Amino acid sequence: MTVRVRFAPSPTGMFHVGGARSALQNWIYAKQQGGVFVLRIEDTDAARNKPEWTEGILSALDWIGISRGSYEGPYFQSANAGEHRAAAARLHESGRAYYCDCTREDVQARTGSQYQGYDGYHRDRGLGPGPGHALRFRTPDEGATVVVDLIRGEPTFENKLIEDFVIARGDGSPVFLLANVVDDMTMGITHVIRAEEHLPNTPKQQLLWEALGVKPPIWAHVPVVVNEKRQKLSKRRDKVALEAYRDEGYLAGAMRNYLMLLGWAPSGDREIVPWSVIEDEFRLDEVNLSSAFFDEKKLRAFNGEYIRALPVAEFVDACQPWLTGTGTIAPPPWQPEEFDADAFAAVAPLAQTRIAVLSEIVPNVDFLFLASPLIDEAAWTKTMKDGSAELLDDAVAAFEALESWDAESLKSTLEAVGAERGLKLGKTQAPVRVAVTGRTVGLPLFESLEVLGRERTLTRMRAARLRLV
């Protein structure tokens, strides 16, 4: 038997990080088993579906390493509508489903409770199809449905506790529960790997598989992804869009690595490991049962490690979208003609050790490419105090006299200026840094001044001095 797994997102919004984790788990499992990864776009919610969301799914999968052409599909659920309706008809004809025109209010009136499930009122009344007549599955009265789950063992559900659930609406359109089952059957899916939030629907789906005469797939329900409050990650409340992390400057490798740790860990006391190790070691039966905490701070730390591990040339290439404003990345504050590739290459090794996401490259190097620095007014107020004007005067004079404009000479010269005032280097260089870069923190100052050059450095220091008059 060839293993066939599927990833079936809906094109109704940005690509959820939890969905990305499920995609990766399915992808790896298929590769390990010599199987097939199938992409199915569940696009039957016409009111919310947009073509750009479908393209977003495809591009997000590309980014995390599941590239177009390496999987089967994408298929679209809407294209299988005829099969969905045919399956509903077969279930009715075989007696496994029946029509019902009860409203929620009708059920509540009979049971006396708004919390009571459907009471089977129309099971044997012979109601036929018609407007407003929903089709309900006839759940067995006795026995239990056992779900074989690679992670959770064999969860067992008593059939008497499963109500006769709707499989087709009053207008004849099948509900998602049935459509999902029929699609999996049509595509020959052998293993369904998905989040545990779907587990309550699994016995219903398994009953549908069996009623349609097909052996159910093997299930694997991975732990749900939660925030720091142990709440399920929500699009409305949490930062969950994979595209947002991509556009902020998270590396695909770091994101892949981190997502795979949500509920699983590689061997040994390690977390940051090559992707080849994850592909080799990942096992569904080793996935934890407890909820998986998506820790953005930890992801950020992961990303910083991945950035620092890049060869400098690759780091320079990786920064280009933020330096040029390409694709979905916002343009930088400088004009294209102001950017100096050689200057950036000179400071790139310094910046690489100081940023955790690639978007941070812009505020670290913007002073190199702007006619004048973007002044952080809070930094100016904090730094430019009594004595700063005179210190800048002395520093300008000392720098003007330098024969060699290099980091070491600049540092020793400014140290001497501060020593005459009884100041340590940290206090001495603070006004110079703000005058030249506009900020109190950033790349190493003297290496930055070397790259910026004598003329531009002195011009900015003089301008800052005039502002202090």
Q: Examine residue 203 and say whether the peptide bond preceding it is cis (omega within 30 degrees of 0).
A: no
Rounded distance, CA 455 to CA 405, Å?
10
CA angle (46, 52, 57) in 5-degree steps: 95
Report whether 144 contacts 157 (CB < 8 A). Answer: yes
Could you identify the residue written with the tokens 């239990």? 144
Could you identify the residue written with the tokens 């694709």? 327
Any idea which residues carry the catalytic annotation? Answer: 235
| The token pair that represents 82 in the structure block | 């005829």
> What DSSP character marks residue 289?
S
3-state secondary structure of 367: helix
> What DSSP character marks residue 76?
E
**DSSP assignments along 85-114, one per residue:** HHHHHHHHHTTSEEEE---HHHHHHHHS-T
Report whether 97 contacts 136 (CB < 8 A). Answer: yes
Residue type, 148: V
Residue type, 440: T
Cβ-based neighbour number of residue 186 at 10 Å: 14
